[in-house]
Amino acid sequence: MDLGGGTPDLAVCTEGAIRHTGVIPIAGDQVTNDIAMALRTPTAHAEELKIKYACALAQLAGPEETIKVPSVGDRAPRSLSRQALAEVVEPRYDELFTLVQSELRRSGLEDLLAAGIVLTGGTAKMEGVVDLAEEIFHMPVRLGMPQNIQGLADIVNNPIYSTGVGLLLYGLQQQQENRNVPKKGAGNGLLGRVRQWFQNNL
């Protein structure tokens, strides 16, 4: 399940193939808007608060932890407990996962998810997301990140890049497999070269 800022996407895989896909209408942007409305702070500051301090499960955020909430205009920032911020965020994540659960039940594949759920995307990085998801789905949930990546591993090893890195690796794998398959009937003429180009590049 790719939890992005715009629309979360989910894919159900069984026996090595995708059996069902879906799109959920609630994403990270709605969480930001909830914070902006509830705390009466500009959207840009709400996004920053979400990234730095938000927690998807209120019981994990201690009431003694305080954060500074920028106000609108020239007003001074206000102090707020991190738990209060979590109480704004948790209902939206709860709604998101409940919609995902309904989608899984509608697909008829919920009972086949023995391996559990993998969450990726920037919205999945928040503290408490995995814990809340396990409470709702009653199955194992983990955070998926790119693995066995060389070079920029310290940057790329992040759920934000899971989909992009996965697509690149899949494309590379397909390209290597195509190179190892002998081209039959390609011919040496113009038509054969055009056919071979399409086979190598699509």
Q: Are residues 106 and 183 in the same domain?
A: no
Q: Are residues 33 and 66 in the same domain?
A: yes
**Distance between CA atoms of 24 and 33, rounded to whole angstroms?**
17
Q: Which residue has the higher pLDDT, 155 or 143?
A: 143
pTM of the model: 0.78
* pLDDT band at 127; cut points 50, 70, 90: very high
* Residue 2 forms part of a structural domain: no
Q: Are residues 76 and 165 in the same domain?
A: no
Q: Are residues 53 and 134 in the same domain?
A: yes
Instruction: Name the amino acid, one letter, at 196.
Output: Q
Count structural domains, the chain: 2
**Domain harbouring 131, CATH code:** 3.30.420.40
The answer to whether 50 and 35 have CB atoms below 8 angstroms apart is yes
The answer to whether 40 and 72 have CB atoms below 8 angstroms apart is yes
Is the pLDDT at 61 greater than 70, yes or no? Answer: yes
Tracing tokens 């879906």 back to the chain, one arrives at 22
Is the pLDDT at 142 greater than 70, yes or no? Answer: yes
Q: Are residues 109 and 77 in the same domain?
A: yes
Domain that holds residue 185: 155-201
Q: Are residues 169 and 81 in the same domain?
A: no
Q: Are residues 73 and 130 in the same domain?
A: yes
Q: What average pLDDT score do residues 132-149 get?
A: 89
